[in-house]
Amino acid sequence: MGVTASTVPFCVCEDVERARYTGNQEMSHLKLSVVTITLNEEKAIGKVISDVQAATKGDCEIVVVDSSTDRTPEIAESMGARVIRQQPKGYGIAMRTALLSGSGDVILTTDCDDTYPMEMIPQFLKYVEEGYDIVSGSRLLGHLKPENMPPLNWFGNWLFATMTSVLYGFATTDVTTGMRAYRREVLHGIDWETNYALPAELIIRPYLSGCKIKEIAIPYRERVGDITLNKWRSGKAFLRGITKYKFGWQIDPNLL
Ligand X SMILES: Nc1nc2c(ncn2[C@@H]2O[C@H](COP(=O)(O)OP(=O)(O)OP(=O)(O)O)[C@@H](O)[C@H]2O)c(=O)[nH]1
CB of 190 to ligand X, least distance (A): 21
Contact call for residue 111 and Mg ion (CB under 5 A): yes
Q: Are 238 and 167 in contact (CB under 8 A)?
A: no
What is the rounded CA–CA span in Å between residue 234 and residue 201? 13
Residue 229 contacts ligand X per CB under 6 A: yes
Q: Is residue 41 at the binding interface for ligand X, with CB under 6 A as the rule?
A: yes
Could you give the CA distance from residue 69 to residue 144 in angstroms, rounded to a whole number? 32
Closest approach, Cβ 92 to ligand X, in A, equals 9
Q: Which of 25, 77, 80, 89 binds ligand X (CB under 6 A)?
A: 89
Among the listed ranges 3-11, 28-36, 66-74, 105-113, the one in contact with Mg ion (CB under 5 A) is 105-113
Nearest residue to 198 (alpha-carbon basis) of 175, 222, 215? 175
Tell whether residue 111 is a contact of ligand X (CB under 6 A): yes
Size of the site for ligand X (CB under 6 A): 22
Decide: is 189 part of the binding site for ligand X (CB under 6 A).
no
The contact pattern for Mg ion, residues 56-95, with x = CB under 5 A and - = no contact, is ----------------------------------------
Measured in whole angstroms, the distance separating CA 148 from the mean position of its chain's CA atoms is 18
From CA 167, how far away is CA 178, in angstroms rounded? 22
* DSSP per position, 100-161: HH--SSEEEEEESSS-S-GGGHHHHHHHHHTT-SEEEEETTTS---TTTS-HHHHHHHHHHH
**228 touching ligand X, by CB under 6 A:** yes
Q: Pick one of Mg ion, ligand X, none as the site partner of residue 94 (Cβ within 5 to 8 A by kind).
A: ligand X
Alpha helices in the chain (DSSP H): 45-55, 72-78, 91-101, 121-129, 151-168, 184-188, 198-208, 231-247
Q: Give the count of residues interacting with Mg ion (CB under 5 A).
A: 2
Is residue 91 a contact residue for ligand X (CB under 6 A)?
A: yes
Does residue 113 interact with Mg ion by CB under 5 A? yes
Q: Which stretch binds ligand X (CB under 6 A): 4-12, 84-92, 131-139, 201-209?
A: 84-92
Sign of CA dihedral 243, 159, 231, 197: negative
How far apart are the C-alpha atoms of 32 and 106, rounded to whole Å? Answer: 5
Could you list the residues that contact ligand X (CB under 6 A)?
Answer: 37-39, 41, 65-67, 86, 88-91, 94, 111-113, 115, 178, 223, 227-229
